[in-house]
Chains A and B, each alone.
Chain A
Amino acid sequence: IQLTQSPSSLSASVGDRVTITCRASQGISSYLAWYQQKPGKAPKLLIYAASTLQSGVPSRFSGSGSGTDFTLTISSLQPEDFATYYCQQLGSYPHTFGGGTKVGIK
């Protein structure tokens, strides 16, 4: 299963609403996760089962979708949110990741 993320990069300002999409090449029900990764660090789980917020993750992050189309939304971008975001499907092996979306400062 291939995951296509868009955009591959974006520039935004603090306070902006940011939306990242992830499209699966075939249906994966809700077996999708979103991760945040900062340079030199391991990825951090933000959202799992497409829309469940991981414990400790700020509520400005939200996820939606099922089947083949998914969305990660940051309602009000904060300085610590500038990072790269990845989706991952766990519907079948291999558990592929999307290509990533780098969120930069405008």
Chain B
Amino acid sequence: QAQLVESGGGVVQPGRSLRLSCAASGLTFRSYAMHWVRQAPDKGLEWVAVISYDGSKIYYLDSVKGRFTISRDNSRNTLYLQMNSLRAEDTAVYFCASPVDTPYFDHWGQGTLVTVSS
């Protein structure tokens, strides 16, 4: 059974950095694109970034371009999101998600909370 588990969330001051991880198991990680999606408290879902199966193609939400970097280590079955210059509006639960059985987001992690506050 495919499983995605995020980690690395926490409380961070504005302007600081944080790196999130998403550990995959039960799937051939290197075969799938991986996405980050976030959800601010009591708000809707917001797609953040995607990385192709081999890391050759990457796309970002405009509001995180230049501040966030998505990457993956296929040897460790792990996805990353390096978040720099964090802002209060980046406060959210961050989910990793992947199209495994379908071309759509059919597998999700449980999410990790990032709080940007002084």
Binding site for B on A (CB under 8 A): 33, 35, 37, 41-45, 48-49, 52, 54-55, 86, 88, 90, 93-100
Residue of B nearest to A100 (CB): B44
Is B47 a contact of A45 with CB atoms below 8 Å? no
Is A42 a contact of B110 with CB atoms below 8 Å? yes
Range for the number of chain B residues in contact with chain A: 20 to 34
Interface assignment of B29: CB less than 8 Å from any CB of chain A: no
Is A90 a contact of B103 with CB atoms below 8 Å? yes
Is A93 a contact of B105 with CB atoms below 8 Å? no
Alpha-carbon separation in the docked complex, A48 to B102 (Å): 8
Chain A contacts for B35, CB-based, 8 A:
95
Binding site for A on B (CB under 8 A): 35, 37, 44-47, 50, 59-62, 95, 97, 101-106, 108-111
Alpha-carbon separation in the docked complex, A54 to B101 (Å): 9
Q: A55 → chain B, closest Cβ, in Å?
A: 7
Residue of B nearest to A45 (CB): B106
Residues A48 and B104 in contact in the complex (CB < 8 Å), given A42-B110, A95-B35, A95-B50: yes
Q: B39 → chain A, closest Cβ, in Å?
A: 9
Is B50 a contact of A88 with CB atoms below 8 Å? no
Alpha-carbon separation in the docked complex, A12 to B50 (Å): 36
Is B108 a contact of A42 with CB atoms below 8 Å? yes
Is B109 a contact of A42 with CB atoms below 8 Å? yes
Q: A86 → chain B, closest Cβ, in Å?
A: 6
Q: B105 → chain A, closest Cβ, in Å?
A: 6
